[in-house]
Amino acid sequence: MDKFTALEPTRLYSSSTSAINKRASRAQPISRWIGKLPADIHLLFLNHLPIPDIPAYARASRATAGLSRDEKVWERRWNDLAITRHALDDTLDDLESKQKPKASTRSPPTIPVDDDFGDFTSAPRTPSVPSLSAGFTPFTFTDASPGKQTFRIRYTRAHLILKKCLAPLQQPPHAVLSALIPLIGTSLLSQARSLHLLSFFLSPRVQPVRNWDILLAALKAATDRFDVSLLTAFDAADSRGDEVMMRQVAHASWEVWPGFGDWEMGKVWAEKREILYEQGRWNPLANFTDENTLDFTPMDEFMACVIRALEEHGTRAVFVFPPAAGVLIGFAERVANEVVGEYIAPLLTRAREISNALYLTAVAASFRESWRIVDVLTTVSSNFSSKGKDKAEDVVFMMFEPNMDEYLDEEIESLKQAFEVICKEWVRSTLALASHSSSTQAQQTRFLTAQNPALMKRTVLASFTDVLLLPVTIVPRTVGAGVVAVGGAVGGAVGAVGTGMVQGIAMLNPQRWVGGMGSVNNAKEYASFDLKDTEGEAAIFEIGADEEGGDDGVDGSSMAPSQTQLQLPLLPSIFGASQTNVASSASATNPTLAPTENLDLLLSSRYRDALKRLETFASYPGHYGTRVRETIEEAFCEMLGVLCNRHLEKGFGIATERMNSYKPAEHEETASVAPLLQFFELVHIGDTIQSMVQVFFDKELAPHIDKTDFLNVVVREKKHFENTLDECVAAGLNAGTQVLMNQVEHIILTLTKPREYYPPEDAPLELGSTQGCTEAIRCLDTHCKLLKGSTSKEVLEVFYQEVGIRLLAILQKHIKRQIISLNGGFQVIADLNAYYSFIASLKAGPHPLISVSNITADFSHLKMLGHVFVVEDAKDLAQIVRDVTRYGGAYRPEDIYEFIQRRADWKKIEKTVDKTMYNLSFKEDCIIC
């Protein structure tokens, strides 16, 4: 019995609670499954089910009836009517108001049914319109609250209203429109909006009746007839100039336009504008003068006529046509392509036949003139004032695109050819000038003869910055008052600049940088550079007192180079178009400036001309915008490459070669080294060129690139230019240091008398420096100060350290070459003290240049070494030689022993010194076997 368990008692009849739960379960929402399909699938069916089939679907079961009332189904149906999207609510209300009197006379009886299907109206089995389905009409929805506007209620209202307008569509095609007009309104706009609403109602997405496709075809035919009548009315109103009527007709036509293809009314209106058929009035070749130069006065007149037409017709288009129709932009495109584009094409073709430079100028000027279309569009319509301005700009961009590929390619090729011609001409002129220059003609050294080179550079850069801010004229005009027409040096490019530009060019004349501090000829050079407008210019480059320590004490007259001349490149004086005037004026007074000045003038001017033309297209979008930016970068890199490889690097190479081949013995001048002076002048010039390149980069090129992008080709090329310049300066400094020390050694050898340190016993004792020491120090001091302000502190430190090390070696070698007496030893000490004072002066002053403590200590030890020549007692001398701490470890006893061997009494004291130093006795310690 243990195997059987007792059965639990079960309830045979359900309680009232279970009955309540069962009734509640019946009232629960639709389950996830209806039959064998999920409810989502049924909703998907309902979304694509024609309206007449929805009542049949709802009668299938209670679940399908509940699902047919789902708001998601009716929200989609309401959205398919596009009433809210196209603001057709007022149109629907107007249709309802016209139908109310008729709808109130007959009210079909209804039979209340108490089930989940809702209320159904009793209607005749055969509808009044045989082609329409009566399946949806019997629905009257009473389950919603009176104030609640659900999507189901909205759609039902719209369906019942629009369905009453379908009866006329069964009339013959010629009578459909006449039968519809009493139902849809009297005004053109209300009729158009009603037809538009009916087209949505009979769309395949809604399918409100069984024969919706037949009715839709009839509606489209009626709409076409309506649109044709509108087009006729619009043409008549346009002929009368009735803009109000044109506006009404245009808005009605826009309402019934299906939204694809061209809008016929806007297209026809644009085609009838006279401006599109007046190309014969204008001659594009009239922009060329008899001298084959450009004068865009005829194009100004042509563009003025185009602008007037755009203003007149554009204003009318803005008033008449809907903004969404885009009639104004379409008309502007036709004017740009068929009128302006056809005018520009032969103009550019003719310019290309004359010269490439003229072609480049014509392209930029034509684009600038065409851009006036954008200005008038933004003025006529407010839709193009802010964000919509891109559409107006695209009109000109698309019109000009066929010319962009050829222009961008030609811009770079023309720039390369111009640079090549300029460099070859510079080389030819330099060689010709070098072969014909007289031996007495001195090379100008403006920076070296200036009282304050740093102030001069700042003045040049400030004026150069002002010149960059001057406006540039892209469109050539007829030469008039205050305007000077100038041509490019290569290819005959034509431009125009105002008097302000000419004055800016005059400010950067290299002849004026030195003010009154250069040679005597500077006054004549300054007077010759006139340009007929020199009032107030005399003090532009007036150099005042040195702001960084006063006069360096460098005498300009002592630095005049010898007969050896080097044609050094000068600064690019202007990034403008008037370089030929400046260069010719300077060359007329000083022919040595011609080949060197013109090179930088032409290089920089040609690039700035190209840059200003390219900047005209800087706002180009898309592919051509990228190409324009790439061309700007490529042009700048090309200029830097030519300036670096073909100009600066070559100039520094020639200077270095001249310094390496310089032989001091062949020149009488001892205070200065001509090649070294020229190299120092070149260092100043290179530093100023680098500063001007930086200014030009910051002012002109920085807006087009990202300066922080170290991978950018322009940033890398600029860095390469700076590194190359530093390497050239470093290589030149190495050769310059060598030639300077060769000159110093030559001065010491030639100016030191044979018995300078071994005077006669009865000769008076003078404790001043010798002539050789004085001249050597003067030569060193002159050249060391010349480099100040032209290079970095680190380079100066290396240069001065190298000078000190080599000077120390020269002095040691020079002392070992002499015979020094006791009285001459005092002369040696005097000279060593002078050399020590010179080395110590390099770091003296309120603004120390470098830290030369190690070199100063070495010269201090050398000065102490001079004491070995004035010690009379041999034993004391030996003790001094053995004291290694006396010289800070700089000299070993063996090194000092070599110096004391140059004493005049060495043979007398040699044994005593040796015995004292090494405790040697030759008689006792030396045994000969």
**How much is the average pLDDT of 157-165?**
89
Written as six digits, the tokens of 618 are: 């800087």
Quick check: 473 pLDDT over 70? no
Q: What is the pLDDT of residue 599?
A: 58
**How much is the average pLDDT of 745-761?**
87
**How much is the average pLDDT of 624-641?**
90
Residues forming beta bridges with residue 498, ordered by sequence position: 483
Q: What is the pLDDT of residue 115?
A: 43
When pLDDT is cut at 50, 70 and 90, the band that residue 447 belongs to is low
C-alpha distances (whole Å) from 10 to each of 7, 13, 19, 354, 378 are 9, 9, 17, 114, 89
Quick check: 118 pLDDT over 70? no
Q: Kindly state the DSSP code that residue 487 receives in the 8-state scheme.
A: E
Written as six digits, the tokens of 718 are: 């600029």
Q: What is the pLDDT of residue 141?
A: 40
Neighbours of 153 (CB within 10 A): 15
Distance of alpha carbon 581 from alpha carbon 610, whole angstroms: 19
8 A C-beta contact, residue 589 and residue 583: no
Quick check: 403 pLDDT over 90? yes
**How much is the average pLDDT of 76-88?**
88
Q: What is the pLDDT of residue 245?
A: 93
When pLDDT is cut at 50, 70 and 90, the band that residue 352 belongs to is very high
Q: What is the pLDDT of residue 782?
A: 84
Higher pLDDT, 493 or 902: 902
Quick check: 370 pLDDT over 90? yes
Tell me the HSE value of 902 on the side-chain side, using a 13 A CA sphere: 25
Quick check: 843 pLDDT over 50? yes
Secondary structure E strands in 469-576: 483-487, 494-498
Q: What is the pLDDT of residue 441?
A: 39
Q: What is the pLDDT of residue 269?
A: 92
When pLDDT is cut at 50, 70 and 90, the band that residue 910 belongs to is confident
Written as six digits, the tokens of 486 are: 């100038």
Quick check: 334 pLDDT over 80? yes
Over the stretch 582-604, which tens digit does the pLDDT of each residue have? 333 333 333 333 334 445 556 76
Q: What is the pLDDT of residue 541?
A: 29
Quick check: 928 pLDDT over 50? yes
Q: What is the pLDDT of residue 439?
A: 39
- DSSP codes joined into one string, 894-917: HHHHHHHTTBTTHHHHHHHHHHHH
Q: How many helices (H) and strands (E) does the chain have?
A: 36, 7
Note the pTM of the prediction, 2 decimals: 0.67
Quick check: 107 pLDDT over 80? no
Distance of alpha carbon 274 from alpha carbon 270, whole angstroms: 9
When pLDDT is cut at 50, 70 and 90, the band that residue 331 belongs to is very high
Written as six digits, the tokens of 540 are: 């532009």
> Which of 89-103, 588-602, 887-901, 910-924 has the lowest average pLDDT?
588-602
Q: What is the pLDDT of residue 512?
A: 38
Closest to 583 measured CA to CA, from 506, 690, 653: 506
8 A C-beta contact, residue 735 and residue 759: no
Neighbours of 778 (CB within 10 A): 17
Percent of the chain topping pLDDT 90: 19
**How much is the average pLDDT of 123-134?**
40
Q: Please state the φ and ψ torsions of residue 903, each to the nearest 5 degrees.
A: -70, 145
Quick check: 348 pLDDT over 90? yes
8 A C-beta contact, residue 558 and residue 782: yes
Distance of alpha carbon 231 from alpha carbon 226, whole angstroms: 9
CA 487 from chain center: how many Å?
A: 27
Residues forming beta bridges with residue 37, ordered by sequence position: 34
**How much is the average pLDDT of 668-690?**
78
Q: What is the pLDDT of residue 739?
A: 87
Quick check: 899 pLDDT over 80? yes
Average pLDDT, the chain: 75
Higher pLDDT, 127 or 776: 776
> Which of 66-80, 172-186, 582-596, 802-816 has the lowest average pLDDT?
582-596
**How much is the average pLDDT of 309-329?**
91
Closest to 429 measured CA to CA, from 589, 592, 566, 572: 592
8 A C-beta contact, residue 681 and residue 674: no
Percent of the chain topping pLDDT 70: 71
Q: What is the pLDDT of residue 303?
A: 93
Neighbours of 411 (CB within 10 A): 25
Quick check: 577 pLDDT over 70? no
> Which of 147-161, 517-531, 889-903 has the lowest average pLDDT?
517-531
When pLDDT is cut at 50, 70 and 90, the band that residue 627 belongs to is very high
8 A C-beta contact, residue 376 and residue 393: no
Distance of alpha carbon 525 from alpha carbon 528, whole angstroms: 5
Higher pLDDT, 502 or 834: 834
- DSSP codes joined into one string, 647-715: IIHHHHHHHHHHHHH--GGG-S--S--HHHHHHHHHHHHHHHHHHHHHHHIIIIIGGGS-TT-TTSHHH
